[in-house]
Amino acid sequence: MYSLPTSSTNSPLDLDVKPRLTTYPKKEEVSDDESSNSASDTDDSATADSGSDDEFFNSAPSTSADDDEDTKLIKKLIKSLQSTLTLKKKLADSHAAAKIAEARIAELEQQVETLKEDVVLVSNQRIMAQSQKLTFELELETVKDELKKVKRELDKERRKAVKKEGEPEKVESTKDESKKRESKKLYQSMKPRRSTRPPSAA
**Average pLDDT estimate for 42-49:** 51
Contacts by residues 62-69 (CB-CB < 8 Å, ≥ 24 positions apart): none
Q: Can you give the residue ranges of every domain in the chain?
A: 43-174
Instruction: Give residue 11's pLDDT.
Output: 47
What b/e readout covers 143-172, taking b as 16+ CB neighbours within 10 angstroms? eeeeeeeeeeeeeeeeeeeeeeeeeeeeee
Return the CA Rg of the chain: 81
Q: How do residues 160-196 score in pLDDT, each as one tens digit? A: 888 777 655 444 456 667 777 777 776 666 665 555 5
**Residue 53 predicted with pLDDT over 80:** no
Instruction: Give residue 20's pLDDT.
Output: 52
Residue 19 contacts residue 2 (beta carbons within 8 Å): yes
User: Which DSSP letter does residue 8 get?
Assistant: -
Looking at every residue in the chain, the average pLDDT score rounds to 72
Q: How do residues 84-132 score in pLDDT, each as one tens digit? A: 999 999 999 999 999 999 999 999 999 999 999 999 999 999 999 999 9
Query: What percentage of residues in the chain have a pLDDT greater than 90?
Result: 33
For residues 201 and 160, the model is more confident at 160
Distances, alpha carbon 135 to alpha carbons 34, 76, 139, 140, 150, in Å: 146, 86, 6, 8, 22
Instruction: Give residue 202's pLDDT.
Output: 43
Residue 14 contacts residue 5 (beta carbons within 8 Å): yes
